[in-house]
Amino acid sequence: MRNTVRSSTEIPVDKDDGLHLRPMQVLVEKAAGFESKLTLARGGKLVDAKSIFEVMTLAAEKGPLVLQADGSDADEAVRALSGLLDKELGGG
């Protein structure tokens, strides 16, 4: 059995473009595949990264996204999801 670990990273969001629906959908879909508890924070608001309704409330907040994972696959989750967001941000 693997130990519970915590991993986190900060992902910049282009302030001229913002956080659109598409990257949020892709993030939540991918997040469901991880065992770790995943949270996403932006502008002082903290939400469950596995809930699309919660993640979408971050759309109009300002600043970077902070992704945090707690669980046995925390490192993999942060690596995969931050890579995905880097690629998706700025699109539709």
Partner 1 sequence: MRLGDFILEDAIIGEVRASTKKEVLAEMVASIVESGCLEPDSAESVVEALMRREEIGSTGIGHGVAIPHAKHTAVRRLIGGYAHSSDGVDYGSPDGQPVKALFLILWPDGVIGPHLEAIARVSQALKKPNFVDCLQSTINKKEIVELFAEADKEAQG
Point out which residues bind partner 1 (CB under 8 A). 16-22, 25-26, 28-29, 51-61, 91-92
User: Closest separation between CB of residue 90 and partner 1, Å?
Assistant: 12
Judged by DSSP in three states, 33 sits in: coil
Name the CA radius of gyration of the chain, rounded.
Answer: 12
User: Closest separation between CB of residue 92 and partner 1, Å?
Assistant: 4
Which residue stretches of 1-92 are H helix? 21-31, 52-56, 74-88
Supply 77's token pair.
């989750």
User: Closest separation between CB of residue 73 and partner 1, Å?
Assistant: 21
- Quote the CA–CA distance of 73 and 52 in Å, as a whole number: 21
Residue 60 or residue 83: which is nearer to partner 1 going by CB?
A: 60
Residue 5 or residue 84: which is nearer to partner 1 going by CB?
A: 84
Catalytic residues: 20
